[in-house]
Every structure is written in structure tokens, then in C-alpha cells.
Amino acid sequence: MLPFSVVLLLLCATPLPTASVALPFEQKGLLDFGKSIDVEGLMMMMMNDEEEGSAVEEYYKPEQPTCPFGCQCNQNVVQCSDLGLHYVPYDIPPETRLLDLQSNQITEIREGDFKGLSNLYALVLVNNKISRVHPRAFMPLKRMHKLYFSHNQLTAVPKNLPSSLVELRIHDNHIKRVASGAFSGLGSMNCIEMGRNPIQNSGFEPGAFDGLKLTFLRISEAKLTGIPKDLPEGLHELHLDHNQIQAIELEDLRQYESLHRLGLGHNHIRHIEHGSLYYLQNLRELHLDNNRIPNVPGGLAGMKYLQVVYLHSNNISQVDVNDFCPNGFGVKKTYYNGISLFDNPINYWEVVPATFRCVSNRMAVQFGNHKK
């Protein structure tokens, strides 16, 4: 089994499984992104990308290799974590592909900190005290794919991020506002993790996500009271767990027809407007657990590819025979392999067995354990 930290690294790089074999993902694994990045796992990803031809063809190799004092340098990887550094070291080898600066005391990223590092693939700045980033600091990083900035003190998305960037993590900072055009020019970006920032719905200015073609976006553990407007339309995964969302309105999900996974667990949802889930015809997994929903949301039976539904820990008291499965045959393309209804005030003995006629097996349905 892969270490948890490696699983997180693979999260934005692993394609979704096909509908027929998709397995439910465990939401608990996404709640804590930790304060360390597994460098070995990141090296594996870097080598995979190089094998696929996305790496540079030739690196500059100095005649006399250098290595910052106290750091470890090996095979284009420079590890300077846990050294109590207050600034980025000045003598980083120009052929460096992976620079690990996590768990230090860095407070500022200066203009010349990455000068000459044009071959850098990944930069790890997790768990520092960074609150200031010079607007020209990332200008030399023409080929950088991954930037890990979580667990710092940023108050805004850094400016002038490299156009080559594919993955950005700014989880657990102090960001309250995302300005219009904050991600402009980042046409290669497919993954943003920005949970655990004190951002409200009003904090997203119109056009904040313009130009992005994301497949993965996570804004969990924030201060959202509703589903944000104008997120990238091509999203495959949207995680908004652990917010203060009150309801799902008819137009909230209209533009996200490509969604495969939607996470809305641990919110305050009391109402889901009828028809609001109609647009999610490609959805595989729906997480609505730990809310205040009074009934099974309408429209689930018509979702051909839906396989996992988390509805536990709500206020559902009744389950109708047609809540999950369509009438007739040949409509549902894939069977459910997980429906969780435990910790709801349901008399499970009153539920008609035919209610779960399109479920893979009886073990896939979970009842019971309701606390009055």
C-alpha cells in the first residue's frame, strides 16, 4: 500500500477509473493534507512525466557541482527541508529539477531567489511562514509544473505564476480574496487545492477563474455559504466539503456537466431544489453526508453513471421505492456499489427491497446507527 503522502501526490495526476470499475474514494483521506510532502513520491511523478516526453531534452551541468550548505543534492534533486532557513539558499545548482524547502522559517520569496533555475519541475515551500512573494520571483521558472505552497501565511494568490504550471496547492493560508484574472495565462493548469482558507463567496471576484481548464478543484474547509459561481466548466472533481453551504439552487450546478465527483459533505444543507442535480449526467460519486437534508434528493434515479452516494448523518426519515433506481430496464448504465444511509431516522424495515434493485449487492447499502 502506498504511503498516505504519496497518495496525495498522485491525486491530481491519476486519471479517473472507467465507470464500470470505479471504486468509491474515501473522503477522510482528503480532510488533512498534512504539513509535509513526500519527496520520493514527487520524484516518481517527475520521472513519469519525463518518460512521457514532458521534460526538457537536455540539462545544463556545471563543471563543479554545488550544493547549498546543509542541504542534500542528488540527481537534480535539492533537499533543504527542516534546516531553520529564513531565506531561499543562493547557491542552488542550475540543473535542479526538484527543490524541497519545506518546514523552514522562510517568511518571504524575493525577486532573485530562483534565478537560473529554468529547468525546475517542482518547488516545495510547504510549512513555512511565507506572507510575501515578489511579483517577479517566479519569472525564471519557465518549465515548472508543480508548486506546493500550503501551510503558509499568504493573503493572496501569488502573481505571475509560471504559464507551464499544472498543479498548485495553496491549502491552509490566509487568503480571503481571489482577484479577477488571478490565474490568467495558466492554460496548462488542471489541479488547484485551496482549501482551509478563510474565503467567502464574495471573495471570488468575477473572472477569478477565467482562462482555466481545471479538472480538479478543492475549496473545502473555507467559509462558503453557497456553491461559488463561474468555476471552470470542465471540472471532473469539485470538493466543497466542510463549509457553511445552506442549499443547492436550480442554477448552481448547471455549467458543470463534466463532473464525475462532487463533494458537499459536512455543510449545513437543508434544501436541494428539485431538478438541480439534473445537469450532472456524468456524475459517478456524490457526497452529501453530514448535512441536514430531510429526504433523498430528487433526480438520482435518472443519473445513468452514478455509483456512490453518501447520504449518512442527515435528517432523512423515508426512502421511496424509486428514489435511487429508474423504472423499467436498460436506463441505468452502471450499478451502485455504495449507498450510505446510516445515522438517519429511517425505519429500515419499512424500506421496500425493490428500492435497491440497481445496487450491485446488498452489502453496498448501509443503514442503522441513528442516534435520537
Nearest of 203, 245, 237 to residue 221 by alpha carbon: 245
Which pLDDT tens digits describe the chain residue by residue (372 residues)? 444 343 344 456 444 433 333 344 343 333 345 567 777 777 677 777 666 654 444 444 444 468 999 999 998 999 999 999 999 999 999 999 999 999 999 999 999 999 999 999 999 999 999 999 999 999 999 999 999 999 999 999 999 999 999 999 999 999 999 999 999 999 999 999 999 999 999 999 999 999 899 999 999 999 999 999 999 999 999 999 999 999 999 999 999 999 999 999 999 999 999 999 999 999 999 999 999 999 999 999 999 999 999 999 999 999 999 999 998 765 788 999 999 999 999 998 999 999 999 999 889 999 986 565
Tell me the three state secondary structure of residue 349: helix
Tell me the three state secondary structure of residue 146: strand
CA distance 230 to 204: 9
CA distance 117 to 162: 12
Neighbours of 367 (CB within 10 A): 18
Instruction: Let me know: does 78 contact 100? Beta carbons within 8 Å.
Output: yes
Helix or strand holding residue 29 (H, E): helix 28-31
Helix or strand holding residue 106 (H, E): none
Show the cell assigned to 100. 524541497
Beta bridge partners of 204: 178
CA distance 320 to 193: 37
Nearest of 340, 307, 235, 328 to residue 21 by alpha carbon: 307
Chain position carrying cell 421496500: 352
What pTM was estimated for this model as a whole? 0.86
